[in-house]
Amino acid sequence: MEFSAEQIAGILNGEVVGNTEITVKGLSKIEEGTEGTLSFLSNPKYEEYIYTTGASICIVNNTFSPIKELPTNLTLVKVEDAYSCFAKLLEFYDQMRKKEPKIESPSFISETATIGSDLYLGAYGYIGDGSKIGDNVVIYPHVYIGENVIIGDNCVLHPGATVYADCILGNSCTIHAGTIIGADGFGFAPNENGEFQKIPQIGNVVIEDNVEIGSNCTIDRATMGSTVIRKGVKLDNLVQVAHNVEIGKNTVMAAQVGVAGSAKIGENVMIGGQAGISGHIHIADGTKIVAQSGIPNTVRKADTLMGSPGIPLEDFKKSYFGFRKLPQILKRLQEIENKIKELTNIKI
C-alpha cells in the first residue's frame, strides 16, 4: 500500500518540506534507504546518512537543519519527535496488515466453545471444549487452544503457539510463534527406590492485559494455583518461566532468561539475556539484572546486579578489576616471598 508525503504528514501532524505528492510503499533504515521507501532520522550519529540516502521520504525532528545539500529526490516530514512518530507509523502499518475476520478450512472449533466477533482462525487451528475467545482475536494457522481456555479481546496468537487447558489470557496480548503456555511444571519427587515420580500439575497460567511473549517461550502451569504474568510484561524469545512463578507489572526479560519455580519477580524489573533466577526467592520492584547474571537469593531492595551470584554493579566492577590484576598480584607476591627468603633465610 502506498502513502504520500502529505498523507504521512497528516497522520503525524507534521510539515512536508519538498514534494507533497511523492509516495512510498516500504520502510528502510536511513543508511540503507532506496527509492520508494520511508526512513527517519532522530539520532545525530546517523545524520551523515541523510545526505546520501536513497530513501524518498525521511521523518526528521523540527529542529533539524541540514548542513549540506540533501539528495534531490528526498522529501522531509518534520515532526516534534521523529523516533516516536516513526514508531507510530510502524504501529499503523502493522495494524493495516492485520488479518481480516475469517475462519479458514480445515480448522476445528468445539461446539461448546464461545467465539467473539470478528475472529480470524487460520488453517489447522484448534479451539477446544468450553473455551471462550474474545472479540477481534487473530489466531494464525497451527495454533492449538485447549479445553476451557479464556482469551480476551484483541489478542494475537502467531503460528504454532499452544495454550494448554484452563489457561487465561487477558486483553491485547500477543503470543509469538512456537510459544507454549501451560505445559506441566517440572515437578518430580524421588520414591523409596530412588526413581523420580511425577507430581501432577493441576494449576494453570494466568496472563493479564497487554502482555507480549516472544517466540519459543515456555510458561509452565502451576502445581496448584496459578503461574501469573501481570499486566504489561514483555518477554523476549526463548524465556523459561517455571511453575508458580509470579512476574510483576511492566517487567521485561531479554532472551534466554530462566526463572525457577515459585520465584516472585517484582514490578518494573529489567532482566538481561541469559540471566538465571533461583526458585522460591523474591526480586524487589525496580531491580535491574545484567545479562548472564545469576540470582540465588532474595533481593529486598532495588539495585543493579551483576555476576553470579549477582552483586551490586559497582562492587562487581571493583571486584572484576581486582580479578583481572590477579596474575600480576600473584607474581608480585611470589617475588616478595623470594626476597624474604633471601633476607631471612627462613622457609615460607
pLDDT in tens, 274-321: 999 999 999 999 999 999 999 999 999 999 999 988 888 888 888 877
Q: 42-51, 83-92, 93-102: which range is least confident on average?
A: 93-102
Q: What is the mean pLDDT of the chain?
A: 94
Grid cell locating 209:
492485559
Helices within the chain (DSSP H only): 5-12, 47-50, 82-96, 313-324, 326-344
DSSP assignment letter at 83: H
Q: List, in order, residues 6 or more apart from 334 with CB less than 8 Å away.
A: none
Query: Active-site residue among 158, 176, 243, 280?
Result: 243
**Between the CA of residue 212 and those of 201, 260, 329, what are the distances in Å?**
24, 20, 49
pLDDT for position 155:
97
Grid cell locating 82:
521523529
Please tell me whether residues 228 and 295 are part of one structural domain.
yes
Q: Which of 71, 96, 121 is the last residue of a domain?
A: 96
Look at residue 273 and tell me whether its pLDDT is greater than 90.
yes
Q: Which residue has the higher pLDDT, 249 or 345?
A: 249
HSE (side-chain half, CA atoms, 13 Å) at 183: 13
Q: Are 185 and 207 in contact (CB under 8 A)?
A: no
Please tell me whether residues 238 and 338 are part of one structural domain.
no
Please tell me whether residues 161 and 67 are part of one structural domain.
no
- How many domains would you assign to the chain? 3
pLDDT for position 347:
56
- Span 70-86, pLDDT tens digits: 999 999 999 999 999 98
pLDDT for position 348:
52
Look at residue 37 and tell me whether its pLDDT is greater than 80.
yes
Q: Which domain holds residue 323?
A: 318-344
**Between the CA of residue 4 and those of 60, 61, 313, what are the distances in Å?**
16, 19, 49
Quick check: is 176 catalytic?
no
Please tell me whether residues 199 and 56 are part of one structural domain.
no
Please tell me whether residues 111 and 57 are part of one structural domain.
no
Q: Which residue has the higher pLDDT, 322 or 112?
A: 112
Please tell me whether residues 329 and 309 are part of one structural domain.
no
> What is the average per-residue pLDDT within 254-279?
97
CA 67 to chain centre: 38
Q: Which of 60, 79, 96 is the last residue of a domain?
A: 96
HSE (side-chain half, CA atoms, 13 Å) at 152: 15
Please tell me whether residues 308 and 322 are part of one structural domain.
no
Please tell me whether residues 11 and 107 are part of one structural domain.
no
HSE (side-chain half, CA atoms, 13 Å) at 101: 10
* CATH number assigned to the domain comprising residue 284: 2.160.10.10
* CATH number assigned to the domain comprising residue 46: 3.40.1390.10
pLDDT for position 41:
95
The C-alpha angle 39, 45, 50, rounded to 5 degrees, equals 40
| % of the chain at pLDDT higher than 90 | 82
Please tell me whether residues 209 and 248 are part of one structural domain.
yes
Please tell me whether residues 157 and 264 are part of one structural domain.
yes
Q: Are 152 and 169 in contact (CB under 8 A)?
A: yes
Strands 15-17 and 75-79: what pairing? antiparallel
Q: Per-residue confidence at 150, pLDDT binned at 50, 70, 90?
A: very high
Please tell me whether residues 166 and 137 are part of one structural domain.
yes
Q: Which of 41, 65, 96 is the last residue of a domain?
A: 96
pLDDT for position 328:
87
CA–CA distance, 139 with 209 (Å, rounded to integer):
17
Please tell me whether residues 213 and 187 are part of one structural domain.
yes
